[in-house]
Amino acid sequence: MKIAFIGLGNMGGGMAANLVKAGHEVRAFDLAEAALELARQNGCATFATAREALQGVEAVVSMLPNGKIVDSVYLADVIGVAPQSAVLLDCSTIDVATARKVAEAAGAAGYEMVDAPVSGGIAAANAGTLTFMVGGSEAGFARTEPILARMGKAVIHAGGSGAGQAAKICNNMALGIHMIGTCEAFAMAQKLGLDPQKFYDIISVSSGQSWSVTSYCPVPGAGPQSPADNDYKPGFAAALMLKDLTLAMEAAETAGVDAEMGKRARELYQAWVDAGNGAVDFSGIIRTL
């Protein structure tokens, strides 16, 4: 299949490489020359503009920083430029309203478009083990699932347009809350004289267990290897967690939901990022406790 890929950064670079490995012809575009150089090394053809990359493609995949950029790339460079038969997949994490607006504009111009944000970080993008949450029609899901399956371990149809983004921010709101709770529990256990590994052995098989405990333990030396064992190098940077919690709080306001814990988690990450920790892994927030 001929696929255009727009946005080959930390995540998109590995995802595009996996499409090449799956036998697709990948036509790449990014504003950064370094990203294009890496894409070439991974077997993509690269182009100086999005418009050139879109020539004759059957699908367009994007992995861009935010909703404003997704909006401008699709409205200015993709819709009306890509062949109308091409299916459009935006994998970026963006707000639900923009995802729906762009998909509507694509639909009005005769395209099928889905939002397909991911769970999993850079390592999962490189390994092809992401989880995709897809928002769009049944037909859109059927067309995009085989493409997404080459970049992930799970592809789930969340519902109509925007449902993928809704699932993503609800998941990450829970993650932010769990991580802070896990950090508080480990910090308190230590103050109460418990050995961190001993506490890990107990909580990991007790009702306080969560992904933050067993896959991403925030204490060095306890549990499996995690960013805590690598001086909190990401992993998943605190700035990205803050981005997702901010999107979650915007969605909560729109939906009239009083998400007290989500609000507090956002405040704590905001303060920690403002203190200069945006590039630190999000589990490093334990250092403040």
Which position among 88, 118, 151, 285 is part of the footprint of ligand NAD (CB under 6 A)? 118
Q: Which is nearer to ligand NAD, 1 or 31 (CB)?
A: 31
Decide if residue 240 touches ligand NAD (CB under 6 A).
yes
Q: How far is CA 288 from the centre of its chain?
A: 25
| 237: helix, strand or coil | strand
Residues 6+ apart with CB under 8 A from 173: 244, 245, 248, 259, 262, 265
Q: Which stretch binds ligand NAD (CB under 6 A): 29-37, 139-147, 196-204, 218-226?
A: 29-37
Shortest distance (Å) from residue 155 CB to ligand NAD: 15
Is the separation of the CB atoms in 226 and 200 below 8 Å?
no
Decide if residue 279 touches ligand NAD (CB under 6 A).
no
Decide if residue 36 touches ligand NAD (CB under 6 A).
no
Which position among 3, 4, 9, 17 is part of the footprint of ligand NAD (CB under 6 A)? 9
Q: Which H/E stretch holds residue 156?
A: strand 152-159
Is the separation of the CB atoms in 185 and 177 below 8 Å?
no
Shortest distance (Å) from residue 167 CB to ligand NAD: 13
Is the separation of the CB atoms in 19 and 65 below 8 Å?
no
Shortest distance (Å) from residue 11 CB to ligand NAD: 3
Shortest distance (Å) from residue 225 CB to ligand NAD: 17
Residue of 168, 191, 198, 263 with catalytic role? 168
Q: Which stretch binds ligand NAD (CB under 6 A): 20-28, 30-38, 51-59, 215-223?
A: 30-38
Decide if residue 236 touches ligand NAD (CB under 6 A).
yes
Per-residue x/- track, 156-195, ligand NAD (CB under 6 A) = ----------------------------------------
Choose among 4, 176, 185, 156: nearest CA to 90. 4
Q: Which stretch binds ligand NAD (CB under 6 A): 17-25, 64-72, 203-211, 220-228?
A: 64-72
Secondary structure (DSSP) of 158-188: EESTTHHHHHHHHHHHHHHHHHHHHHHHHHH
Cα separation, 184 vs 245, in Å, equals: 19
Give the DSSP letter of residue 34. Answer: H
Choose among 90, 40, 97: nearest CA to 64. 90
Contact positions vs ligand NAD (CB under 6 A): 6-12, 29-32, 35, 63-65, 69, 73, 92-93, 118, 121-122, 236, 240, 243
List, by residue number, the catalytic residues: 168
